[in-house]
């Protein structure tokens, strides 16, 4: 129990949002539950989020990570926009993850832009959890 | 590091507010920090409580707009349960509070409440004070379900609004004593649903019998019905915390005055007082007896 409390005190916070105009949020919700069960504080921001709304959520929630789920194919416009807004807001240190259907050859471009990791449709939950545990997300100094 | 944060906070940097909230949530905000962050004006703290699914988040989302239309700045502290096993939490309240992301007059924070213990996140009082010191004029608290947190909610908030489902009329009969003790306003929510009218009549009949009677109204986050009226009621209530604070401030002032008189009586050699102190030192009177006797002497001093 004491261990859990200690763990909780250090619980990392991650904002999950679905950006773009496509329909459902089943995938994000599965990820959200898996991360909760792994001890994260998951702030689910919902469907159809604009980059502006996502960045506001990251700011107010003091998140370590933000996970963007994108199925609409608009990632090459939406992701750079989120990254730019994060930088402008003073949140360049927040770790950015992208999930969804991203063509193989565009993954390196996203990483180049500053995305920490891209998770494709086949990614297992333990893989995501493991990555988040190995990496720190936002650096707080 | 904390000094820099505070400096930024004072200049209205909301990232500093967000970070200080994290420190507060973890119980890591030093006491004297808060003292340095006195707010000029107390906020109106309104708790929205009720069972899961009754529509608390949706209603808070609507109230944000109502409050902003009055030109007031608003902070939302939304509590959701934390898993006792993993320590993790799924905080989904802000989904229903979509507003304008560029409105600096709205700050929304999702908080984890230890499940089974309370419907409130730990250190909520500190977080409320941070919001006040940042200049927020209204603080809306969403509790994580109704549950055992209710009396704590009453202590933290100026106004407690309890939401009831249209079908909970019968439940209310069973638990009405407790309900009327904690709630300042009762809302039969989801008024757009069938059965709302009947529940409203039942709840109102019960609420009128309470002493003092508790106001009841119908509202719907879906249609917007009753929201303006709800805010009018809430805004018309006295600031309970402020009254408590006045009491506490007065008590502290009385204690200080007594301490001053006691010290001057000792130094000035008021005989009765000195005698009592030396008898107490010898152990021939108890602390309580000595204190009572000293108090009598001090209060009868011209
Ligand atoms: N019919 C109706 N449904 C509502 C209303 N407000 C919320 N809901 C629905 O009730 C469910 C729970 O709402 P939510 O705000 O998350 O409740 P909470 O758990 O108390 O925060 C959601 O499916 C909402 O769409 C309302 O005024 N009328
Ligand atoms: Mg809710």
CB pairs under 8 A between A and B: 92
- Classify strands B89-91 and B106-114 as parallel, antiparallel or unpaired: unpaired
Q: Answer left, alpha or beta for residue B158, where phi above 0 means left and psi between -120 and 50 means alpha.
A: alpha
Position B112 scores a pLDDT of 93
Give the residue on B whose Cα is nearest the Cα of A51.
Answer: B101
The dihedral sign for the CA sequence B193, B195, B198, B200? negative
Position B148 scores a pLDDT of 53
Position B17 scores a pLDDT of 97
CB contact under 8 A, B14 and A60: yes
Q: For an interface test with A, which of B73, B85, B94 has the most A Cβ atoms less than 10 Å from its Cβ?
A: B94
Position A6 scores a pLDDT of 42
DSSP 8-state assignment for residue B259:
H
Which residues of chain B make contact with A36, given a CB cutoff of 8 A? 83, 86, 88-90
Q: Give the homologous superfamily in CATH for domain B39-237.
A: P-loop containing nucleotide triphosphate hydrolases (3.40.50.300)
**Contact B123/B156 with Cβ under 8 angstroms?**
no
CB contact under 8 A, B88 and A44: no
pLDDT tens digits along A95-125: 999 998 889 899 999 999 999 999 988 899 9
Q: Candidates B47, B53, B93, B113: which one to mutate for ligand 1, based on the most atoms within 8 Å of Cβ? A: B53
CA distance B192 to B221: 9
ipTM: 0.91
Whether the link from the prior residue into B120 is cis, omega within 30° of 0, is: no
In 3D, which of A105, A103, A85, A104 has the Cα closest to residue A94? A85
Position B244 scores a pLDDT of 67
Output the tens digit of pLDDT for each of chain A's 141 residues.
344 444 445 789 999 998 877 777 788 889 999 999 999 999 998 887 899 999 999 999 999 999 999 887 888 889 999 999 999 999 999 999 999 888 989 999 999 999 999 998 889 999 999 999 998 776 554
User: So where are chain B's domains?
Assistant: 1-38, 39-237, 247-299
Position B172 scores a pLDDT of 59
* A window 92-131, beta carbon within 8 A of B: none
CB contact under 8 A, A7 and B87: yes
**Contact A115/A78 with Cβ under 8 angstroms?**
no
Strands (E), chain A: 13-19, 41-49, 65-70, 95-100, 117-119
**Residues lining ligand 1, Cβ inside 6 A:** B 52-58, 93, 96, 189-190, 192-193, 220-222
User: Residue A92, SS3?
Assistant: coil
Terminal CA-CA length for chain B:
52
**Contact B276/B297 with Cβ under 8 angstroms?**
yes
Which residues of chain A make contact with B5, given a CB cutoff of 8 A? none
CB contact under 8 A, A4 and B91: no
Position B210 scores a pLDDT of 80
CB contact under 8 A, A33 and B90: yes
- Contacts (Cβ under 8 Å, ≥6 apart) of A51: A19, A78, A81, A82, A85
| Fold that domain A2-134 belongs to in CATH | Rossmann fold (3.40.50)
User: So where are chain A's domains?
Assistant: 2-134
In this prediction, the residues of chain B whose per-residue pLDDT falls under 70 are: 115-117, 146-150, 168-178, 242-249, 302
């Amino acid at each position: 129990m004491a261990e859990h409390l200690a763990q909780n005190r250090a619980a990392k916070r991650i904002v999950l949002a679905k950006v773009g105009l496509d329909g459902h949020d089943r995938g994000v919700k599965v990820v959200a539950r898996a991360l909760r069960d792994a001890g994260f504080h998951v702030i689910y921001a919902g469907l159809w989020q604009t980059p502006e709304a996502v960045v506001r959520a990251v700011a107010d929630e003091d998140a370590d990570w933000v996970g963007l789920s994108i199925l609409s194919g608009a990632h090459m416009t939406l992701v750079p926009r989120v990254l730019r807004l994060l930088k402008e807001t003073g949140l360049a240190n927040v770790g950015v993850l992208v999930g969804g259907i991203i063509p193989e050859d565009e993954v390196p471009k996203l990483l180049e832009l500053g995305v920490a990791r891209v998770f494709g449709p086949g990614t297992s939950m333990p893989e995501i959890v493991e990555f988040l545990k190995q990496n720190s997300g936002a650096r707080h100094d | 590091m904390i000094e820099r944060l505070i400096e930024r906070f004072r200049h209205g940097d909301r990232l500093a507010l967000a970070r200080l909230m994290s420190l507060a949530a973890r119980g890591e905000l030093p006491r004297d920090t808060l003292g340095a962050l006195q707010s000029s004006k107390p906020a109106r703290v309104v708790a929205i409580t009720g069972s899961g699914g009754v529509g608390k988040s949706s209603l808070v989302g609507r109230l944000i707009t109502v409050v902003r239309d009055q030109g007031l700045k608003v902070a939302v502290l939304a509590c959701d349960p934390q898993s006792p096993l993993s320590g993790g939490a799924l905080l989904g309240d802000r989904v229903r509070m979509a507003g304008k992301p560029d409105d600096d007059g709205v700050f929304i924070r999702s908080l984890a409440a230890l499940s089974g213990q309370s419907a409130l996140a730990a250190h909520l009082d500190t977080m409320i004070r941070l919001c006040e010191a940042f200049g927020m004029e209204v603080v809306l608290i969403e509790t994580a379900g109704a549950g055992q947190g209710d009396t704590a909610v009453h202590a933290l908030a100026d106004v407690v609004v309890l939401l009831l489902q249209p079908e909970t009329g019968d439940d209310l009969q069973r638990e009405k004593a407790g309900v009327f003790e904690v709630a300042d306003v009762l809302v039969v929510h989801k008024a757009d649903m069938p059965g709302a009218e009947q529940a409203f009549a039942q709840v109102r009949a019960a609420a009128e019998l309470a002493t003092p009677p508790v106001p009841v109204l119908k509202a719907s986050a879906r249609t917007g019905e009753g929201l303006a009226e709800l805010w009018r009621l809430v805004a018309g209530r006295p600031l309970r915390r402020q009254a408590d604070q006045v009491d506490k401030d007065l008590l502290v002032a009385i204690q200080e005055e007594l301490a001053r008189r006691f010290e001057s009586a000792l130094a000035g050699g008021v005989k009765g007082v000195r005698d009592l102190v030396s008898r107490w030192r010898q152990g021939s009177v108890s602390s309580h007896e000595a204190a009572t006797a000293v108090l009598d002497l001090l209060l009868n001093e011209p």
